[in-house]
Amino acid sequence: MSDSCIIVGASHAGVSLALQLRKEGWTAPIKLIGEESELPYHRPPLSKEHLAGKKDLDVMRLRPAKVYADNGIDLLLSTRVSSIDTQSREVKLSSGESLGYQKLALCTGASAREFIPARGLENVFYIRTAADIARLAPHIQKGRRVLVIGGGYIGLEAAAVLAELEVSVSVLEMSERILQRVTSPKMSSYMQQLQESHGVEVYTGVEVESIREEGQEKLVGCADGTEFRADFLLIGIGVEANVSLALEAGIQCEAGIQVNEYCRTSDAHVYAAGDCTVHPSLIYQRQIRLESVQNANDQARVAAANICGKEQVYDAVPWFWSDQYSIKLQMVGLNTDYDQVVMRGSAEGGVEASFALFYLKEGVLIAADCVGRPKEFMISKKLIKARDKVPAEHLQNEAIEPISFSTV
């Protein structure tokens, strides 16, 4: 058995965890293992500035190579872990080499969910890695037609970029409205109008049944008999947590790698952080899985502290953002199970709109969606964390400054 800490997964959570271990006083070796050949990079720009060609991969690096060396972090790129033996505390690499550990951290992230009807077809793309963008880039040409299958944030962000590059964009969403799983009808309506005002055609309640190729075209057939033609397809139907390593090692998983409030798995020597995990939320009093940079970084820092013998509890308020055209949507909290929605400002005006939607349950603020409202976003974090009741009329009243919401 080695005295090393091995971290499997070299993206946001893995990099944060490795660096935080040193800050917490871990002096033994650290091995950070990543499957990609690239130095770890920021993921959010993939569907935004990087797809648009405005931000190169070199400026998206999480840290320069020198930082890993200076902190004594052995960064193993282009390396895949094939199995974990929790009894002998070893990970086996696809090369056949075995590495021992004292502590193991799983930061394996999530993978794009495959769209089965498109399996095996050419010119079908997903957005999860820099390599995905490199494959997609040659197809982005003025006047070409793309079908974006999936009306979630990744699909809509990509649709916005492609529309601005003068690609003809249509979005197909199986649910009755875009963003149905993650936001309210009011926000869905605003986002659809925003997309349509930029020439994107949005179709909801559409179930794709078949995809066939006719020359260079893709013919997409739907359950209602509608057919769409495109030059290429972009799939954005969600992600699945990468749990196979943990499952095969006998670590408890259910929709993700199960961790407790200390980011520890069912094995006392194995921790996990990031998109691959399911964790107990003290705020929402249930198990949740999050896909966000904030969660990856914050959870990783807590895991690092606890690997080093601390007893730090993970109790962060989740927050997210989405950039589409010139608007920035900032989201905080989880807006499921709300019983009241309060609007502040106006959703009229497209990219000029400025408003916030507050989601309450029994008078307690549980989430907020903010467009052009950074003050409301920031104060919402504090109010959600405090679990205080906030009068709806105060949230709605523009004469009351956001900083005063909790004190009026």
Q: What is the pLDDT along the chain (408 residues), one digit of tens a residue?
A: 689 999 999 999 999 999 999 999 999 999 999 999 999 999 999 999 999 999 999 999 999 999 999 999 999 999 999 999 999 999 999 999 999 999 999 999 999 999 999 999 999 999 999 999 999 999 999 999 999 999 999 999 999 999 999 999 999 999 999 999 999 999 999 999 999 999 999 999 999 999 999 988 999 999 999 999 999 999 999 999 999 999 999 999 999 999 999 999 999 999 999 999 999 999 999 999 999 999 999 999 999 999 999 999 999 999 999 999 999 999 999 998 999 999 999 999 999 999 999 999 999 999 999 999 999 999 999 999 999 899 999 999 999 999 998 765
Nearest-5° angle of CA 232, CA 44, CA 381?
135
What homologous superfamily does CATH list for 326-404?
FAD/NAD-linked reductase, C-terminal dimerisation domain (3.30.390.30)
What pLDDT, on the 0 to 100 scale, is given for residue 1?
63
Residues paired with 172 in a beta bridge: 149, 203
Every domain of the chain and the residues it spans? 5-108+245-307, 113-235, 326-404
Residues paired with 345 in a beta bridge: 355
Asked if the domains at 5-108+245-307 and 113-235 fall in one CATH topology, the answer is yes
How many of the other CB atoms lie within 10 Å of CB of 215? 6
What is 5-108+245-307's CATH topology? FAD/NAD(P)-binding domain (3.50.50)
Which of 341, 39, 323, 8 shows the shortest CA–CA distance to 154?
323
Q: Distance between the two ends of the chain, CA-based, in angstroms?
A: 59
Which of 365, 361, 294 shows the shortest CA–CA distance to 330?
294
Which of 13, 55, 52 shows the shortest CA–CA distance to 34?
13
Using CA atoms, how far apart are residues 25 and 2, in angstroms rounded to an integer? 18
Displacement of CA 170 from its chain's centroid (Å): 23
Nearest-5° angle of CA 265, CA 270, CA 275?
60
Using CA atoms, how far apart are residues 195 and 161, in angstroms rounded to an integer? 11
**Which residue's entry shows tokens 């998109």?**
275
How many of the other CB atoms lie within 10 Å of CB of 363? 12
Are β-strands 319-324 and 286-288 bridged in parallel, bridged antiparallel, or unpaired? unpaired
Distances from the Cα of 236 to the Cαs of 114, 274, 318, 396, in angstroms?
A: 9, 20, 22, 34
Answer for the pair 129, 46: CB distance below 8 angstroms, yes or no. yes
Which of 46, 13, 119, 32 shows the shortest CA–CA distance to 79?
32
DSSP string over 127-156: -SSHHHHHHHGGG--TT-EEEEE--SHHHH
What homologous superfamily does CATH list for 113-235?
FAD/NAD(P)-binding domain (3.50.50.60)
Nearest-5° angle of CA 69, CA 70, CA 72?
65
Distances from the Cα of 53 to the Cαs of 48, 132, 133, 136, 216, in angstroms?
A: 9, 14, 10, 12, 25
Using CA atoms, how far apart are residues 189 and 169, in angstroms rounded to an integer? 18
What pLDDT, on the 0 to 100 scale, is given for residue 52?
96
DSSP reduced 3-state for 294: helix
